[in-house]
Chain A
């Protein structure tokens, strides 16, 4: 346990500068884009004169130099104050918080599905390598990998919502029915089936290829030969000796892929009009809502760091050879 504790401490210490670099980098990048929040507001209001624009800029603290704006933002962050959203007229923290739960649920379901289905299919394919299950699974994987998620989402809506009318075409829950308890859970689940499918299939394909390759590699290692020489049955060899060793690269990959998945959720949330972080990010970009956007990036970065932190600890737990170096 001391080994994992040391590792945890070191990873935490590393994540602070990472967070800082992301924030500063993004802040400066957004400064390079033409137009600011006030331009976007004025465009929404149908225009205004220079005096109004100057007043608004003063109100939002946009009249001072860029380094000063950045400094103020970072200082406010220390007290978890993400600033006010110019578009929603609410504190950014509460805007994000309302949306976070949806995204967290959506992402964790998609990740869990992609990981477990990819793992099972990968193992099945590797067990009978070049047999018909392997060919079928690998072909299916390639198809999943080739379909863009937004198109898949639209097609799923056409098929399951429009033609068959089995599942709702969008949204997070049925509005105005006041469902509670199990009925509410089932309702949310019905809404999430299609988004989860369209986001996770591409990742499922990646995990399945990775798991298959990893299993095949581990099966050639000496200790697997030892396990067979011990007279273990093929199932025991796979479960006890191959699987855990083959999982190591998968676990690493989940951490690496998480940010890509978060990016993918922007598109899928928009297609299924899920009120999550991804869609909020998209809207904030369009409306030049700098504070909200920075808040979202901060939260996403923290999410990615947290997931990778967990993955690192999990890896250390799985592999006794990892030391806090």
Chain B
């Protein structure tokens, strides 16, 4: 990473022994405890941690925007030597936006949907300067151009929903930069973006930091991103800083056990060597699968989206087939068609020698046990009003399994996914995200399927939980002789889990092959672009200090 003259005198931002108190009755007394960190001008400091580590709250505390009843308890927040914690609200407001720029995670929801983008950028200038309108408008154009939006005039007039995710995030960055703040705080700014877009936004943040000498406090959960851009790293756990140091040192020779565990949980990008057994017989064969979404009625303009434009693949017994691609590639549509949640427009899906698409609804229903699905969002995919036991047993009961037998199977499945048998009588909200994903898995496996379709099963989980769920999936696959269709946008996960990979782009499979071959020698330009965009691709997590010199 670029070395900057770390400090000449006082740092740009310094948190000194900051503690933030939660309201009474919360699960812990302090959200942040004794947090100290520094950001120098021209330096990117990454704050890393899992959910609940207090990393986002740190940002809100700096801005003086703590949610109601969460209060600053002690400590100082020094911006260029001035203690923000001691300032009255009005003074603090003048500093927000003007001297501290802020970029948030969700570019869709972080912009007002009813206000043109240019107007939202202009507000910054309107609030903090007394420039006349024409000058402000010119500045907005210049800002939008600076962050690399292709048509700034049109983008300024556009509403947020009319821009792509990447463009919205660029507009957010333009807004944050409007008054040339010395400090930029970015809270997971690329988490909701596709990997190629993420690479471009990260490059933009770095470029701004270099060109303007802005200090950046970058909050993320992704060690790949850290490896990509950080000069220094602060690792947080349960509201405390557990480790801090230069990026190279923390990434390659972590000291604290928690940091070591976190880094060990990051899947390496290099596929592990696989014992290449001869492929088993084909379980699932898909050919010519197509889906076109149509909307519009008699009087409205028709809109046609060709989501899947002819997909063929074969899944062999005991194999894990990965489908990777960015949003809009059609990978989730394929998954849904496999379990017939969506009707395919054309093509065939042959499961154990029988064309599923040719079956009528009741015949297909009798075979749903053979092909089951695990969904992405462990929070939304379980019915909150039903007990876990009922959720897992429901499929079995529908297919006519006697109650006693179903209950026995539920207990067996809970043991398999590593949950306590008492879970049967509890509701989904009583479980953490990772546990809920285990429940989802138990529900699918209870049917004893031949094929399991997993649609982004670990994308919503913290990295340590992700590793556990992946290990569980591998174990279940072994034990139940499963064949797996694994859909993901995360190439690191794909490298570890999949035997073969299909790369999809705009409804087509652009490249397919053995995982090792595909990662070592990608043929299609899109595959190459995807691989080149993986953050921190030059970093081998878990390689340890020995790899420090050997790393790219």
Contacts and interface: CB of A to CB of B under 8 A. Distances in A.
Interface of A: 6, 9-10, 13, 221-223, 225-233, 236, 240-241, 244-245, 318-321, 323-325
B292 to A, nearest CB: 17
B104 A325 contact: no
A321 B161 contact: yes
A231 B123 CA distance: 10
A223 B102 contact: no
29 contacts: A6-B301, A9-B299, A10-B297, A10-B300, A221-B109, A222-B106, A223-B110, A225-B110, A226-B104, A226-B111, A226-B175, A227-B112, A228-B96, A229-B63, A229-B65, A230-B96, A230-B102, A230-B127, A231-B96, A231-B97, A231-B98, A232-B93, A232-B97, A233-B93, A233-B127, A236-B123, A320-B161, A321-B113, A324-B299
How extensive is the interface on chain B, given as a class?
Answer: 20 to 34
B186 to A, nearest CB: 12
A231 B95 contact: yes
Q: Nearest 9 CB-CB pairs, A to B?
A: A231-B97, A231-B96, A222-B109, A229-B102, A230-B97, A320-B159, A223-B112, A10-B299, A222-B110
A228 B60 CA distance: 11
Contact of B301 (A227, A320, A324): A324
Contacts, number: 92
Nearest to A241: B112
Interface string B298-321: 111100000000000000000000
A319 B114 contact: yes
Given A230-B97, A231-B93, A231-B128, A225 B115 contact: no
A240 B301 contact: no
B129 to A, nearest CB: 11
Nearest to A222: B109
A292 to B, nearest CB: 35
A324 B295 CA distance: 11
A324 B98 CA distance: 40
B109 A240 contact: no
Nearest to A318: B114
Contacts of B175: 226, 230
Contacts of B300: 6, 10, 323-325
Nearest to B114: A244
Given A233-B93, A321-B159, A222 B296 contact: no
B348 to A, nearest CB: 32
B interface: dominant SS: loop
B251 interface: no
A233 B123 CA distance: 11
Interface in B420-446: none
Nearest to B299: A10
B102 A240 contact: no
Contacts of A6: 299-301
Contacts of B115: 240-241
Contacts of A225: 65, 104, 110
B236 interface: no
B123 A240 contact: yes
A245 B63 CA distance: 24
Contacts of A324: 299-301
Contacts of A236: 123, 127
Contacts of A233: 93, 127
B343 interface: no
B113 A245 contact: yes
A231 B175 CA distance: 12
B114 A226 contact: no
B482 interface: no
Contacts of B227: none
Contact of A320 (B111, B114, B124): B114
B255 to A, nearest CB: 34
Nearest to A12: B299
B418 to A, nearest CB: 35
A238 to B, nearest CB: 13
Contacts of B123: 227, 230, 232, 236, 240
Nearest to B161: A321
B295 A222 contact: no
Interface in B80-105: 93-98, 102, 104
Contacts of B114: 244-245, 318-320
A229 B113 CA distance: 17
Nearest to A244: B114
Nearest to B159: A320
Contacts of B97: 229-232
Contacts of A232: 93, 97, 123, 127
A13 to B, nearest CB: 6
A325 B97 CA distance: 38
A226 B124 CA distance: 11
Nearest to A319: B114
Contacts of A226: 102, 104, 110-112, 172, 175
Nearest to A10: B299
A236 to B, nearest CB: 7
A325 B162 CA distance: 16
B104 A222 contact: yes
Contacts of B162: 320
A229 B114 CA distance: 18
B438 to A, nearest CB: 30
Contacts of A318: 114
A280 B298 CA distance: 40
